[in-house]
């Protein structure tokens, strides 16, 4: 038997997409503790856990009571989804969006490096300046840059447009936890969802959008 044939004979694993999703969500529900989490946030928490593999994150979520209703209404009404990085934007499942919503990321716009230099900040933060014309009523998903979240809050504090909801999942060791705390403590009445602490990431930010846009359609056998 060749090495290739031997390897093929060794591996036994689930190949059916519907079964993989079903068993994944069953495992999440069995292992995660959703105590204290509102029922309308359960699909979001399940998606987040599915995206990162860590069942304990449910206890580190913080939210405003209106984040689900506000985000779902905005998405249903055609609001754009504003993302801090391309990885978040590419993680949003387009064919599940309820109103063919635009998914926008301005990080790679040609003038962003110069704008960042002029503002004395990161490209991710400077890129949020391009959101001003579309920010009102939008759903914001930040999965990478704490500076983008801080700058967004500064824009709003200065009288900038108010989004319908901010999903804050910046990840890292410098400013990530602090930026999410700032969002959770925001005095502007902004609907929000955050994962407190250092954990987060683009996959989780996109997962939150997908859950709010379409719940858990994979349980019905969709890819």
Show which residues are catalytic: 50
Tell me the C-alpha distance between 36 and 197, whole Å: 19
Closest CA to 168 of 129, 214, 133, 128: 128
Tell me the C-alpha distance between 121 and 117, whole Å: 7
- The answer to whether 149 and 179 are in contact (CB under 8 A) is yes
- The answer to whether 213 and 182 are in contact (CB under 8 A) is no
- The answer to whether 88 and 105 are in contact (CB under 8 A) is yes
Q: Are strands 139-142 and 61-63 parallel, antiparallel or unpaired?
A: unpaired
């Amino acid at each position: 038997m060749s090495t290739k044939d031997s390897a093929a004979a060794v591996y036994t694993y689930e190949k059916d997409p519907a079964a993989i999703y079903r068993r994944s969500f069953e495992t999440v529900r069995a292992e995660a503790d959703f105590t204290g989490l509102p029922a309308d946030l359960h699909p979001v928490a399940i998606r987040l856990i599915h995206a990162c593999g860590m069942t304990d994150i449910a206890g580190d979520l913080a939210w405003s009571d209106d984040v689900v209703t506000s985000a779902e209404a905005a998405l249903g009404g055609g609001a754009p989804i504003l993302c801090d990085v391309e990885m978040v934007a590419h993680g949003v499942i387009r064919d599940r969006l309820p109103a063919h919503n635009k998914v926008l990321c301005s990080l790679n716009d040609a003038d962003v490096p110069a704008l960042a230099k002029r503002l004395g900040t990161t490209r991710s933060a400077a890129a949020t300046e391009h959101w001003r014309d579309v920010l009102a009523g939008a759903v914001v998903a930040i999965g990478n840059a704490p500076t983008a979240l801080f700058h967004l809050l500064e824009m709003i504090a200065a009288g900038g447009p108010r989004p319908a909801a901010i999903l804050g999942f910046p990840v890292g060791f410098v400013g990530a936890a602090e930026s999410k705390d700032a969002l959770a403590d925001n005095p502007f009445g902004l609907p929000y969802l955050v994962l407190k602490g250092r954990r987060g990431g683009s996959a989780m930010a996109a997962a939150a959008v997908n859950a709010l846009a379409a719940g858990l359609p994979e349980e019905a056998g969709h890819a």
